[in-house]
Amino acid sequence: MHPLRVSVRAVCYRDNTLLLAEHRDERGLWYILPGGGIQHNETLDIAFQRELLEETGGEATMGDVLFVREVIADKLDTTFLPKHLHQIELFVEATDFRSVAAPSNPDKDQIGYVWMPLDKLPELLFFPKAMTVAFQTRQFDRVYQGHIM
């Protein structure tokens, strides 16, 4: 049996930019919103703060859940996700971001973080790609976005 993983991702805007974790692997540069798995007995707000600190060295105020997406690796045509991964991701508004330290525990292949101009999102290898326009317009039309990449 493969456990369902629940993660939280910070959606943090500054002017016309979006905070992204920057990664490099054999595909080149790719980007995701900072965040990761919620640990056993960890609350959503604690996971939100821990993941931001680990990946960006920053803190922010946690806002509302903007949307939820589901990832089922076995239903996707990719070799870059762990086999049998089934993950629910909660994308949460983050405001008042402030840098307080160096990233303490970046993800595998993470090389840093960037404030990416919103108009550059379509040019990037960015996940979830299907949500690019929603991130650019800051309009999330429904809470559950389904199984998307």
Is CATH 3.50.50.60 the right assignment for the domain spanning 5-141?
no
pLDDT tens, position by position, for the chain (149 residues)?
Answer: 678 999 999 999 999 999 999 999 999 999 999 999 999 999 999 999 999 999 999 999 999 999 999 988 877 777 677 787 788 999 999 999 999 998 989 888 999 999 999 999 999 999 999 999 999 999 999 998 887 76
Task: Give one DSSP letter per residue of 38-75, joined into a string.
Answer: PPTT--HHHHHHHHHHHHHSEEEEEEEEEEEEEEEGGG
The answer to whether 27 touches 18, Cβ cutoff 8 Å, is: no
Q: Where are the domains of the chain?
A: 5-141
